[in-house]
Structures are given as C-alpha cells and as structure tokens.
Structure 1
Amino acid sequence: MRAVVPREAVGGSAERTEISRIPVITTVVVSALYVVGLLLGDRVRFEVIGVWLGIGAEVAAVAVCVCAVLRTRLTQWQVVFGGAAVTAYTVGDVYYLSTLQGQQAHAVISAADVAYFAFYPLMLGALAVTVRKLKGVTWPLLLDSLVGALAAASLMAMILAPVLRSGAGGGTTFEMIVVVIYPVLDLLLITAVGGLLASRGLDLGPRWLLLVLGLVLFAAADIAFALGVQDYVVGSAVDTGWILGIAAIALWIDGVARGGVSFRHQDRGLPAVTMLMVSTTAAVAVLIIGCQMPIAPLAQVLAALTLLLAAVPLLFRNRMLVTLATTDELTKLPNRRGLVTDLRGRLGGRHSGALFFLDLDRFKDVNDALGHSVGDALLVQVSERFARPLRPNDLFARLGGDEFAVFLDGLSREEALVVAQRLQAELTEPIQIGTASIKISVSIGIALTPENGTDISLLMRKADIAMFRAKSTRSGHHLYSSMDDDGGARKLRTLQELRAALVEGQFELHYQPKVNLPDDGVTSVEALVRWNHPLLGQLPPTSFLPLAEEAGLMPQLSTLVLEAAVGQVSRWHADGLTISVAVNLSGSCIQPDLPRQILALLEQHGTPPQRLMLEITEDMLMADPVHSAKILARLRNAGIQISIDDFGTGYSSLAYLRDLPADELKLDRSFITAMRTDPRAGGLVGSIIDLAHSLDLRVVAEGVDNAETLVELRALGCDLAQGFHFAKPLPAAKVAPWITKHALPATATSLLG
C-alpha cells in the first residue's frame, strides 16, 4: 500500500500550496462503484470484485489523508492523528486479506485486530487535540463524553449479551469480549464527537456530518458483525459499513485540512444538552427493561453509573455559569458583577481601602480608525499593563467598554495617589498591535473607604464622579471630594442621559437656510442638532455638545447627524428640491477613516458628494493643521465641500489659510454682531472678505439678525448669510415651504457647480 500512494502524493507537494483533488475524487468514485456493485450482487460476482473495490476505496482514502497532512505541513494535529487512524485501519484490512489463503474469513480475531484497535486511540487523539482548544470547558466536555460512553456501553451490554453467553460458534470468551468491545469503542467516538458539536464554541469543519456518518457506519457494521460473527464472510454487506465509514472519515479530514477547525459563536450542530439527555434516557431505558425482563447485570451496572456520573457535569455547568456570569470574556478579568461580589466582603466597619475607576482616553478613536479587533487587542494589553503594579490580593476588574476598576485594601490617601501615578505610568510607552504603535492615556477616579462611604453603590458612584472630573480637567487622576458632588453628580447624570439618548435616538435635526446675497437664492442649509430630552424638552446644542466632546461621544453623535442629514438631502432631492446640507464636525472626528465612512454613506443614499458640506471650526483645524489638511484634502478631492467655521477666533489662521483645502470661510458671529456698534468691525469683516476672495473662497456671515447688518454685508461683497433675520433653524418638513415662499424663482445651483 505504501508503494501505491505516498510517492505520487508527495511528489512536488512541499512546493505547492494546493494539492490535486484526484485522491478525493477517486475515493468518492470507487466507493460509489462499491455500493453499486453491492446492489447488483451476483450479476457481477460482487463477492470477488467487491473485495478489491473495497480495498481500493480504503487505499484512496489513505491517499486523501496523506495529501491532507502534506497540505497542512504537520501543523494541524487533528489531521495527522485522523490520517494515521485511517491508515492504520487500512493496513489492518490489507493484512487481513493478504493472509486469508483461500478462506472466507479468519477466526474471530487475528493479528489484523492490532491495527483495527489502533484506529480508536488515534481518532480519540484527533478529537483530544480539538478539545484542548476549548480552554475552560475541557473537563465538562470530557465528562459529557464519558457519560455518553457509559450509556452506550450499557446498551451494548444488553444487546450483545447473548453473543457472550452463546460463545458465538465456539469462540473463546476473550474473543467474544474483543468482538463486543468494537461497538462500544465506536459509540465512545460518537459521543466524543457529539460533545464537541454541543460545546458551543468549536466547529469540527465544513464536513462534520461526514465524520458522524462514518462513525455511525462503523458502529452499525461492528454491531452486525458481533451479532452474526459465525456467519461472517469477506465481501458481505457488513463490510460496507467499514469501507464507507473509512471513506467518509477521510473526506472529513480533507475538509478540516482545507478549511481548518475554527471557533464560532453559534452552533450549527447540536444543542448543548442533547447528548446528556440522550445518554440519560438510554440509561433509564436499560434500567426499566431490566425490571421487566432478565438482562445482563453488567448492562444494569453501567446504566446506573451513567445516571450517577450524569450529575457531575451539571455541577461543572453550574460552576461554569457562575464563572461566566462574573468574568469578562475578553480579558478574563472579573466583570462589574464579579467586582461587586468580591467587594461585599471587603467593605464595612473602619476597614480602609481605595476604589479606582479607570477610563481610557479617546479609545473610540482607536476603534473607529483601526477597527474593533485592534481595539480588543489593545484592551487585553492595557489590562496586562495595569495588572503589573498590583498585588495578588488586589481586585482588578473590567467594567465594560474601555472602563476598568481596581480596589486595594489598606491604602491611605497618599498611597492611593501613588498607585494612581503608577497605573498612569504603565501607559507611558506605546502599545504595539501588529504594525500599529498606539499611544493611549487613562483618566483615573479614586474614592476612599470609609471616608467616602462603605456602601458599594455609593462608593462606585463617587469613584465614577472622580473619574469624570479627571477626564474633564485632563489631570490624569482625581481623588473624590465633597466639592465634586455639586456639578460632578449633575454632569454624570447628564452624561448617562446623553448616552441613553444616543442609543434611543432622541436627537433631531433642524435646518437653517444659508441665503445667497447677490440674488437671495437658497442653495444650502446648515444642519443643527437638537436633543428631545424626555423631561426637559428640546435642548439646544450648546447645552450638551461640550459635554459630549468632553466625554468622547462626539464621533458617535456626529455619525448620527451625518446619517440623518445625508438621508434628508436624498429625500429632498427625490422631491425635486436641489440643495446641499452643511454638517458641523468636531475635531475628534477628523480621523483617517473619515473619508471612507462618508463616501460609503453618500453611496448608500445615492447622494452626490457635492450635496454635502463639512464645517470644521478653526481652532480644531489649528490644533493639528497638517493632519487635518491631509484628511480634508481627500474629502475635497472626492467632491465634498469644506467650510472653516468660526473663522477669526483661532490663532495663526492666516499662516495656514493658504494650505487648508477649503471652499468657504464662515465668519464668527462675534464679528457680525459688533458691526452695528463698532466701525472697525466692519472694516475687519471687509478685509477678511477680500482676503478670502483672493484665495477663491466664499464667505458666509452667520448671526445676521437685522436688515442694517445685511445691507452692510452686501456692500462689502459677502457671498452668503444666515441668521434670524432670514429664518430660525427649521424642522425638515418646513424647509421646502420656506424656500418656496422666500426664495426667488431664479435660485440656481451655482454654488454646487
């Protein structure tokens, strides 16, 4: 057999990544011919031809396994063990046939049984390698499989007891035990596979049904052989189970080699309790039958052991459920529930301690720019760094998202501040995730016990307030004091409401028209967000945007505003209203991935890029002009308009104005308001307008609230204006009627090109 397969299968395979599928096709074709020959029977003298077709199918299956091992280059041990099992069984069959010497069958057992028995530990090895990857649930899985094996053994003992008693045609007791052991081993493998399929975490490959089918065929053939051992001859229908079983297992091995064994979140196999239910039901059935009629005592003993052992996995499951309920899946640290559980025994009386709340700064930017997989890897490494300065008995938990908590016993105020500095220092060096080097910082809030309370909820709330104060002041860490409760608690409550509003969609956009001063046409509106607070009513952006920026929620809020604005422009366009919309963006949103996100949004709604304008405040642009200019240039090259908002309030504006990719300057309302009382303000506005026009930029005046200012702006050559003199921000439904009523028929789309 070795001369038939390996030399051809190996030739050149080390240099090729894809090996021929010929062995797979050969296995399927020869197995199909074998089945056809069996169905035709004597018409093609199947007793002779079928033997060689069967051995041919097995040899082809070995070739499939050899190719699979070569493809994986010995890196997947389940493929190696599985291939060795198929090979061992085939060697046994080849030896069996070569030593028949004209007989129809050997005695009950022969030397070939050594190879046959080797099949089972090798297959168990393949499954054991897979089980090792299921960290934390290995023992429950093994217990489930053992329960299934005992139940199967009790059934076999009851069914095959007559074979043992009769001696099956003169066979010795040892021979009969060997015959009976095969079906038991088959069912042991089947229960092990069932345990893996029910493990809710591992996939046995795209062809796992072939593995189950192969083992079931093996079990059926072994049971049929045991019940009719004295009548068995080579080439009978019993051989079909073994031959097709070997072929099916080989095809499963090929599927694993091609697709790998992967972890998954949802089963496509069996429910987790299926195997345990089947096993216990079988054991109960054996005991009930034993009460009604005589059966082998061994069957009753095995059934009783099955029920006894079935209780053990339930204990493991209960323990595992408790562990899962109190453990963070990503970092394996205690979660919020686990922290509260552990804190209960450490608070009370005059026992001193310090609770730290740690929140990573701008973690959402990492997720948005590099993806959630990088964010998860970052959280794992951050947790490992935070654990370095902690003692073995200190509590360390992940509360969720990018928030962690630490509780240390017996710390004074000064010692708590030292620990906070050590935790901050752990993030001094950048964290390497693949090719990305990420620099991140942390804000830490500290609450002391018993000074700040001994109640868990109260202490956690105060640590949260302190953390929020550390983040808002950018101090790195903050120790809670009674002074924080005044505004801190209110801010914390508002922040919680703001987060809920983002989830529940409590925001609404209003639109303020931007009037083209030369012809009074309206070609654009500015989107302004409003918060429909469930208790306080509609809130203006000034009441919540600073808090959202402070808490790192602006990217999420800006995404919501962009989606709503682009969707509305698309609907207006469908209704025949051709206008563009301007959306304000925070500096924290200017990330490398922003152009891709916006273009994908425009494509989703079928909106031309020219219909969208992004307004970025001057001070945000000046914070990192080089970085901002690169991203804005990509947006502008894609056709999206760029406006510099609040122009004139920042620093070094003129030095960078020439290099910033912009279409429009938007004068800060402070200049426009001052024009009525300060002649110098009018001169300054005129100078900015001339400068902008020399750079081919449009100028928008915001905050135009009276006719006198409008007249002066027209005289100075201002391009557009918006303010209460024209209209307050309008709900989306009122924009079209307002434009129809106030804009001249000649409104063109000159600004859109």
Structure 2
Amino acid sequence: MSTFLCLYVIGLLVPDTGFSLFVDGVLASLAKWSLVAVCWAAVVRGGARSRALSGSGGLTGFGHLELVLTAVAVSVIALSDSFSLALLIWGGADEWHQTSDFGYAVFFALMMAVLAILLRRRLRGMVWSVVLDSTIGVLGTTSVLAVLLGPVANALDAAGANTAISTAVAYPLFNLLLVAVVVAVTTSQGPVAGRRWILLVFGLLIFTATGLVFIMLKSNYVLGTPLDAGWAVGLALIALWADAASRPSVAQNSSSHSLAALAMPAVSTAAGLGVLLLASQTAVSPLAVGLAAATMALAAVPLVSRQMALRRQARTDELTGLPNRRALYAEVSRRLTADTRPKRALLLLDLDRFKEVNDSLGHDAGDRLLVQVGRRLQLGLGPGELLARLGGDEFAILLEHSEQAQAETVAAKLRATLAQPFTLEGISLQTSVSIGIALYPDQGDDLTALLRKADMAMYKAKSTHSGHHVYRSVDNRHGDARLRTLQELRLALTEDQLILHYQPKINLKNGSVSGVEALVRWQHPERGLLFPDQFLTLVEEAGLMHALTQEVLRKALDQSVLWAAQGRTLTVAVNLSASSLIDGDLPERVGTMLSARDLPATVLMLEITEDFLMADRDRARDILTRLRASGIKISVDDFGTGYSSLAYLRDLPIDELKLDQSFVFPMADDARAAALVASTIDLAHGLGLKMVAEGVENGVSYDELVRYGCDFAQGYFMSRPIPAAALDDWLTARLNAAALP
C-alpha cells in the first residue's frame, strides 16, 4: 500500500502538462485498490477477534459494522474512480463527472453512518458530566467550523451554485460536523484505543477539505494536479484507522486520559470566546455567534455544579457518604424549628472495641468496617429518620415521632443488625455497639444538649454492657466520674500505677507449686487498690486494652527473671482479652519479649476465653498455632461458662482447661455439680489436656478434686492473689512446713 501511494503522490508533485496515464491512471488505481485490500483485511481480522471474544460465529465474522461500512465506502471510491478513468480514456467526459460525483456522494453517506455508529458507542453509558463536556466541545468546535466555512458558502453563492452543487457540498459539511462531534465526545472521555481515532478524524478532514476545494474550483479543475493527493492521503489515513481498529487495544496512561478530558472543554470554551470576540470586530455568521454563545453558557454550568458539589461535600462524610456532624446540626435545627411536634429521640451509637480493629488489622480494615456499619444502619432505618456519622466510630440517629419505647425498640433492632458478622481481610469479625438515647424535648431542646446527654447514656450502656441506655439525671454524675477515671487511667499506664498480684496453682498430685496466675491491680493514688472489675470495662471502652496487655506481660516476665535468678521454676499465666488476640503480631511480639529477657517460652502461659475461640475459629487457630510453635502454653479460662460447642477442643492447640469457680463452689453440697466436675475432668484427660479448678474455697472441695484426679487448683483455701514479695514469703513458709517431720 505505502509503495503505490508514495509513488502516486510523488508523481502528482512532478511538474506536468496534464493527464498522465501512468500516474493518474495506473498508480492512482493501484494505490486506491491497495487501500481497499487493507480495509477488507481489517474486516476479516475484526471478525476473527469478535469470534474469539464471543466464542461464536455467524455475523461476527464480518467484524464490527463500522469496519464493514468503511471497507465498502473505500471500495466505492476505488470502483467509481476506476470506472471514471475508463470513461475518461474512452472520451466520456460528462459521464466521468457524473460517475465521480455519485461515488463520492455514496462514500460520504457511508462514512456518516460510520461516524454515527462510533458516536452512539461513545455516548452509551456516559455520565452527565461527560455529556456536558462533550456538548461544550461540540458547540465550540462547530462554532469555529461555522466561521471557517463562511467563505466557502460565500464563494458558492457568488458562483451561482445550483441544487446539485449544494447537495454535493451538504455531504462533506455534515461529515465535518460529525467529525467535530466524535472528536468532542471521544476527547472528553480520554483517548480511545491508543489515539487511533486521530487517523480517522484527520483522514476525513483531509478528504472533505479536498472535496470542498474541488467543488469551489469545479470549472477550473484539472485532473493530475497535486490537489488529487488530498483524496489519496485522506483515504490512506481512513484505511490505517480501519486496520488499527481491528487490532487489540493497548492500555493508555490514565494521566494522559485525564489531561485530554480536561483539555477539550477548556479549548472549546476558549474557541467560543474567540468567535464572540471576532464577531465584535468583523462580520460573522449568526449561526457561528449562536453556537459560540451556547458554548459559553454551558461552560458556566460546571462552575455552578462545582459550587453545589463543594456544598454537598462540606456536609457529607467522605468515608461513608452519610451526612456529617455539620449536616446533622443544620438538619436537626431545621426540623426542630419547622414544626412543634414534640416527640423525637436522638440515638448516639459507638462501636465497642473499634480501636483494636485499627490496631490489629490496620486503618484500612477499620474504614471498611465503618462503611459496612453505615450501610447496615441505613437499611435498618425507616423513611424520615436521619443518620449521620459524627467521626471515628460514632454515629447519630434522629428518630421522628418517637417516644422512649419506640426509641428502645429501634436501638435493639440496630444492635441485632450490627451483631451479624462482618468480613474484613478474609476474617469473620463480630462487633457490638453501645447506644445512648436522649429524648426531645424532655432532655434537651437543641442538638447540643441532646448530644451531650446521649453521650452520657451511651457510656452508661458501655459500662453496664446493657447495649443501650436512656438518659437519666443520675447519669450526669456518672458521666463526670467516668471522664475523670478515664483520664486517671491513662496516667496510670504511663506512671507505673498498675501492679500485679500472683495466685499460686497447686499441683494436686504432690502439693507442689508449679506456677502462678498474674492478676492486674490498680494502685490508685487517692482511691487505693482497685480490682479489675472497677476499671477493666473502662479500659476496653477507651481502647487501652492493647497497652494494658503489654504492661502486664512486661511486669510478669520481669518478675519471672527475678524468680529464675532465685532458682524458682514457676510458670506465669497471663490473661488475654479477646480484643488483645485480634492483634496478628502478638506471637512475634511476645517472642521478642521472652528473647530480650533470655527466658524460655515454657515459662509463660496465656489464658484465653471461649468467646475468642468461637468467634473466629480460623483466626484463633492461626494465632494459637504460632504461639504454641514458639513453646508458649495455652489455657482456656472460665471453661464451661461460654459456648456449648466443644469442637474447638479437638481442633485448636490447647494445653489446659480452667474450670470456672461457678462449678467448684457448689460441689461439696450438690451431687449434680460434683458429677459435672468429675465428668469435665475426665473429658480433659481424654483429650490429653490438664485440668485446673478455680475458686477452691475449702478443704472439702480440695479433697474432692484430688479424688476426681484434677491436676491443679487455685483458690482462697490455698492462697489469695498476693504481691510478688508476699508470694516469696508464702512459698518459703510452705517449703519449710513440708520439710518438717
């Protein structure tokens, strides 16, 4: 193709006295028929691609319809030119002009269909902003075309153009308009198929411009001049587009797409402004002025839209898409002042232990959890009820026409909705929510007052584990105390106010002390010694459990170092909450702490609860397997009080079970309780596990446990939890007593 085309163009550029049979006949025909071959090869290639993608045959063998029409159009030009050439050689000059005009009219009609197909495909699925940019591009481009084609129209009028000439001009002009539309739409969406469309656009522009010049010079046109090269070059670019369109697309850089999409409306707006400025200085067609004015008017629409978008953005939570705190204040204020209907309720929701999700799975996972929570809350509310995200893991809901009973019903429904497991990072995660409720107008006549009281009610719900709580006046005092305690607790973690007491575990076979359980206490500077039930709930609420666990592990292992130096071999058991075990890096961090103190892993036992084992079996297996692989022992605390399923005892790496004291207390007086204890000990031994009985309060229970074959026991009958120094004295006294005859 390129050889014949180059020879033909070069031949046209050589000074000549007129028609050359070799150049204008043979080379011209070979060049155009080679372009026909390229186009039909593209049709065949496109059909093969269509069959490969669709897995079917049939009409897909013809390729895309636009390729077929393009091949037919180029074939019509080649056929009409060849036939016209034959007529010219045989002396039919009039028939030559008629045949040529007919062929070119058919060509333009077919190419208009091609452009229409491409335009329809580009418009399909476009969002309104792209449609707007495309429209601006079309109007700006056509306004410039209207200015540029003004001289053509004037020349035709001066020449006294007849109907035939006007019809011949209409096709190329309409093609120019469609080209402008395709350029505008395509550019506003970014380059298509690696900018291949540029070949089609320039090919049609060159071909059409050549045709317009031909019409203007029709009486003076001479065959074989350089003007003829315009048709050949235009056809060549169209054929190259067809060839490229039949091949697989190549991915383009998204940044170039963005620049192109931004450039088209900007350039079109500048073009429209230029046309209006030109119209103020010289005569310009009313059509061009109208198109330019429409371009400028539409260009202002994105500015207005942008202002509206900024306004929405200022009142929308970026993560969840819900109204934010600002929107909540505005909407609630509007509703409260719009009417006097008095009964409303404000619900303040806070996810429990959300900080552990961020710390363990990362903030991305936490963000995805918040998005899912927002969606579930929306689905759980009725029309007219306002949901907003205040920030972090806090959400607010305003219920219309709601008294206390209805508000509590909605709160219970939402808690049940959020209790269903979420899936994050491939992990099934269960979460819970605490809800505080404040009633309008009884408990506040504006949003600020309602939020403050709902906040106090929400923390009351957290501290009592009730799920939801309706504000009462007494909660005000509790709220102040809670905030003060929370601040003091943060100081306690940094100022070494937390201490450990140790309760010995007695080997029931020989009476020796094989290990101890480390139990945290808070040595409050004003309130004295505080037990875990007085502050652990607040630790969980405030997201401080991770820091507390680290502090307890550090103190327990430091004490193990001291005991090892004294020659005491004691296993130290440390309790871990379910929220602590969400941390995927826990095994490595504990291993590092042991290595730093040169302690064997067997010195540490971690006590976990059944709720963690059952909430996420796969995660529990992963964490526990990695802990066990390092040599750390695993104990299940409060065994028997959690889930009834015992499947995890078979599946998970566990060393011992700690029978809850609620089974041990009544054992001496309740035969059924004693039978449960005996059967549970047999179950543990059957699974190869050790059994520890907690809450041994008297000698009868102690002796019964020995008789049932229990391995270890803890309880006040042997020793309360005591500081390390007191435990040393207790151990020494116990050894001395055992040494007496």
TM-score by length of 2: 0.62
Matched residues, number: 598
1:459 to 447, 450, 453: 450
Confirm whether residue 418 of structure 1 aligns to residue 409 of structure 2: yes
1:284-433 map, 5 Å: 284-328=273-317, 332-348=321-337, 351-352=341-342, 353-360=344-351, 375=369, 378-379=372-373, 382-387=376-381, 390=382, 392-399=383-390, 403-424=394-415, 426=417
In the alignment, the residues of structure 1 paired with residue 608 and residue 690 of structure 2 have an alpha-carbon distance, to the nearest angstrom, of 17
SS in structure 2 of the partner of residue 51 of structure 1: helix
SS in structure 2 of the partner of residue 305 of structure 1: helix
Shift in alpha-carbon separation, 1:74–1:176, aligned structure 2, 3 A: farther
In the alignment, the residues of structure 2 paired with residue 36 and residue 495 of structure 1 have an alpha-carbon distance, to the nearest angstrom, of 88
Shift in alpha-carbon separation, 1:649–1:429, aligned structure 2, 3 A: closer
Confirm whether residue 478 of structure 1 aligns to residue 459 of structure 2: no
Q: Deviations over 1:502-523 (max 9, x none)?
A: xxx99999999x9xxxxxxxxx
One-letter amino acid matched to 1:704: A
In the alignment, the residues of structure 2 paired with residue 418 and residue 643 of structure 1 have an alpha-carbon distance, to the nearest angstrom, of 41
Confirm whether residue 122 of structure 1 aligns to residue 114 of structure 2: no
In the alignment, the residues of structure 2 paired with residue 600 and residue 426 of structure 1 have an alpha-carbon distance, to the nearest angstrom, of 35
Q: Deviations over 1:402-451 (max 9, x none)?
A: 54432123333333333334444556877899999887654322111222
SS in structure 1 of the partner of residue 439 of structure 2: strand
SS in structure 2 of the partner of residue 393 of structure 1: coil
1:88 to 64, 69, 84: 69
Shift in alpha-carbon separation, 1:46–1:195, aligned structure 2, 3 A: same
Q: Is the deviation greater in 60-69 or in 654-663?
A: 654-663
Confirm whether residue 449 of structure 1 aligns to residue 444 of structure 2: no
1:542-553 map, 5 Å: 546-550=537-541
Shift in alpha-carbon separation, 1:237–1:582, aligned structure 2, 3 A: farther
Confirm whether residue 154 of structure 1 aligns to residue 158 of structure 2: no
In the alignment, the residues of structure 1 paired with residue 632 and residue 308 of structure 2 have an alpha-carbon distance, to the nearest angstrom, of 59
One-letter amino acid matched to 2:401: G
Q: CA deviation at 1:476?
A: 2.5
2:83 to 102, 122, 134: 102
One-letter amino acid matched to 1:443: S
Q: CA deviation at 1:145?
A: 1.3
One-letter amino acid matched to 2:66: A
**Matching residue of 1:704:** 724
2:39 to 40, 51, 58: 58
Confirm whether residue 488 of structure 1 aligns to residue 484 of structure 2: no
**Matching residue of 1:578:** none
Q: CA deviation at 1:270?
A: 2.3
Q: CA deviation at 1:459?
A: 2.0
SS in structure 2 of the partner of residue 344 of structure 1: helix
In the alignment, the residues of structure 2 paired with residue 117 and residue 617 of structure 1 have an alpha-carbon distance, to the nearest angstrom, of 78
Q: Deviations over 1:83-106 (max 9, x none)?
A: 443443334333443444434794
**Matching residue of 1:12:** none
CA contact under 8 A between 1:328 and 1:398: conserved in structure 2?
yes
Q: Deviations over 1:375-398 (max 9, x none)?
A: 4774365135313xx2x3332334
SS in structure 2 of the partner of residue 194 of structure 1: helix
Gaps of 5+ in 1: 1-32, 132-137, 198-207, 515-525, 531-539, 563-580, 694-700, 718-753
In the alignment, the residues of structure 1 paired with residue 607 and residue 446 of structure 2 have an alpha-carbon distance, to the nearest angstrom, of 47
In the alignment, the residues of structure 2 paired with residue 507 and residue 246 of structure 1 have an alpha-carbon distance, to the nearest angstrom, of 77
Shift in alpha-carbon separation, 1:599–1:715, aligned structure 2, 3 A: same
2:183 to 187, 190, 198: 190
**Matching residue of 1:737:** none
CA contact under 8 A between 1:378 and 1:433: conserved in structure 2?
no
Q: CA deviation at 1:146?
A: 0.6
CA contact under 8 A between 1:555 and 1:586: conserved in structure 2?
no
One-letter amino acid matched to 2:291: L
Q: CA deviation at 1:355?
A: 1.2
1:251-266 map, 5 Å: 251=247, 254=249
Q: Is the deviation greater in 332-341 or in 423-432?
A: 423-432
SS in structure 1 of the partner of residue 335 of structure 2: coil
1:239 to 221, 235, 238: 235
One-letter amino acid matched to 1:587: A
CA contact under 8 A between 1:214 and 1:249: conserved in structure 2?
yes
1:223 to 205, 223, 240: 205
One-letter amino acid matched to 2:724: V
In the alignment, the residues of structure 2 paired with residue 178 and residue 602 of structure 1 have an alpha-carbon distance, to the nearest angstrom, of 81
**Matching residue of 1:523:** none
Confirm whether residue 180 of structure 1 aligns to residue 173 of structure 2: yes
Q: Is the deviation greater in 355-364 or in 312-321?
A: 355-364
In the alignment, the residues of structure 2 paired with residue 614 and residue 240 of structure 1 have an alpha-carbon distance, to the nearest angstrom, of 83
CA contact under 8 A between 1:622 and 1:650: conserved in structure 2?
no
**Matching residue of 2:258:** 269
Gaps of 5+ in 2: 12-22, 86-98, 215-226, 503-517, 523-530, 554-571, 639-657, 665-679, 714-720
Q: CA deviation at 1:276?
A: 3.2
Shift in alpha-carbon separation, 1:99–1:383, aligned structure 2, 3 A: farther
Q: Deviations over 1:318-337 (max 9, x none)?
A: 22333344345676543333
In the alignment, the residues of structure 2 paired with residue 232 and residue 497 of structure 1 have an alpha-carbon distance, to the nearest angstrom, of 92
SS in structure 2 of the partner of residue 586 of structure 1: coil
**Matching residue of 1:30:** none
CA contact under 8 A between 1:93 and 1:112: conserved in structure 2?
yes
Q: CA deviation at 1:254?
A: 3.9
CA contact under 8 A between 1:154 and 1:300: conserved in structure 2?
yes
Shift in alpha-carbon separation, 1:441–1:154, aligned structure 2, 3 A: same
In the alignment, the residues of structure 2 paired with residue 153 and residue 556 of structure 1 have an alpha-carbon distance, to the nearest angstrom, of 68
CA contact under 8 A between 1:644 and 1:662: conserved in structure 2?
no
In the alignment, the residues of structure 2 paired with residue 715 and residue 83 of structure 1 have an alpha-carbon distance, to the nearest angstrom, of 98
CA contact under 8 A between 1:359 and 1:467: conserved in structure 2?
yes
Shift in alpha-carbon separation, 1:234–1:196, aligned structure 2, 3 A: closer
In the alignment, the residues of structure 2 paired with residue 292 and residue 477 of structure 1 have an alpha-carbon distance, to the nearest angstrom, of 75
CA contact under 8 A between 1:445 and 1:466: conserved in structure 2?
yes
Q: CA deviation at 1:316?
A: 2.5
**Matching residue of 1:111:** 106
Which structure's residues are more often helix, by fraction? 2
Q: CA deviation at 1:149?
A: 0.9
Shift in alpha-carbon separation, 1:358–1:376, aligned structure 2, 3 A: closer
CA contact under 8 A between 1:583 and 1:613: conserved in structure 2?
no
In the alignment, the residues of structure 2 paired with residue 373 and residue 456 of structure 1 have an alpha-carbon distance, to the nearest angstrom, of 27
**Matching residue of 1:21:** none
In the alignment, the residues of structure 2 paired with residue 381 and residue 543 of structure 1 have an alpha-carbon distance, to the nearest angstrom, of 36
In the alignment, the residues of structure 2 paired with residue 109 and residue 70 of structure 1 have an alpha-carbon distance, to the nearest angstrom, of 33
Q: Deviations over 1:188-208 (max 9, x none)?
A: 2232233334xxxxxxxxxx4
Q: Is the deviation greater in 310-319 or in 231-240?
A: 231-240
In the alignment, the residues of structure 2 paired with residue 157 and residue 149 of structure 1 have an alpha-carbon distance, to the nearest angstrom, of 12
Q: CA deviation at 1:148?
A: 1.3
